[in-house]
Amino acid sequence: MNNSKKLIGMYEAMLDTLGPSHWWPGDSPFEIAIGAILTQNTNWKNVEKAIGNLKEHNLLTPQALYALDSDKLAELIRPAGYYNIKTRRIRNFLSFLKSEAEFDLLQLKNHSLDELRPKILAVNGIGPETADSILLYALDFPTFVVDAYTARMMNRHGLVHEDIDYHELQALFVDALPENVSVYNEYHALIVRVGKDWCKKKKGLCESCPLQPFLD
DNA sequence: ATCCGGTGCA
DNA sequence: TGCACGGGAT
């Protein structure tokens, strides 16, 4: 089976067994963008606490967060871990949002994907995965998100080396799939769900995995 | 003890 | 290529 058919087959298998994911959880594009920064190498449950704290204080708007002291912000996002560095990263993103789009995330959609992605990547603290997550899940741009789960899952299926470069891994999916926001959205979400519940770090639960039929 | 929707810096 | 960043859940 060629690569494209295999990747499409895996997608269909996951969707059939797990159902749609309804990603990204969040009430607004801005909440999704902040969540993308907060969830860097961090369990989503911890991110939810941090976002809950911000909501509770009515601070989940660009203007309110921008006006907030670093110390206050750090304390509120503390449950998400790495709170000092993430405070800096959020503030970097807010400065970018102010200068580039008058605090209006949707104004970023006036750019093409190809010119916007490098601009977001230039923000210190926003790497390729966070940038693509914001572009896809907050702004509906057709860019495919890959992550540690993706590399692990693909590696265990013998398709890539474990430490494959981000953009190489991404290209594998882009080349195999139709350029479609809904498919990109759902595919990454399904991989994360499979990664959490079956393709675990220590020992994969391959026998019961939705992707078991695709193992060799 | 181990892991988590990573990233930047030496 | 290593390493720091970090609280919370299992």
* A128-183 pLDDT tens trace: 999 999 999 999 999 999 999 999 999 999 999 999 999 999 999 999 999 999 99
With a cut of 90, say whether residue A2 has pLDDT above it. Answer: no
Which residues from 38-57 of A have any strand C atom under 7 Å from their CB? 41-43, 45-46, 49
Buried/exposed code over A168-187 (b: 16+ C-beta within 10 A; e: otherwise): ebbebbbebbeeeeebbbbb
Q: Does the C-beta of A85 come within 7 A of strand C?
A: yes
* A8-59 pLDDT tens trace: 999 999 999 999 999 999 999 999 999 999 999 999 999 999 999 999 999 9
* Residue A183 DSSP class: H
* Tokens of residue A108, six digits: 């970023």
Whole-number distance in Å between A104 CA and C8 C1': 33
* A87-120 pLDDT tens trace: 999 999 999 999 999 999 999 999 999 999 999 9
* Residue A27 DSSP class: S
| Confidence grade of residue A1 (pLDDT, cut at 50, 70, 90) | confident
| Confidence grade of residue A191 (pLDDT, cut at 50, 70, 90) | very high
Q: Which domains does chain A have, with CATH numbers?
A: 3-22+144-214 (1.10.1670.10), 29-138 (1.10.340.30)
Which residues from 29-58 of A have any strand B atom under 7 Å from their CB? 39-44, 46-47
Whole-number distance in Å between A78 CA and C2 C1': 26
* Tokens of residue A105, six digits: 């995330």
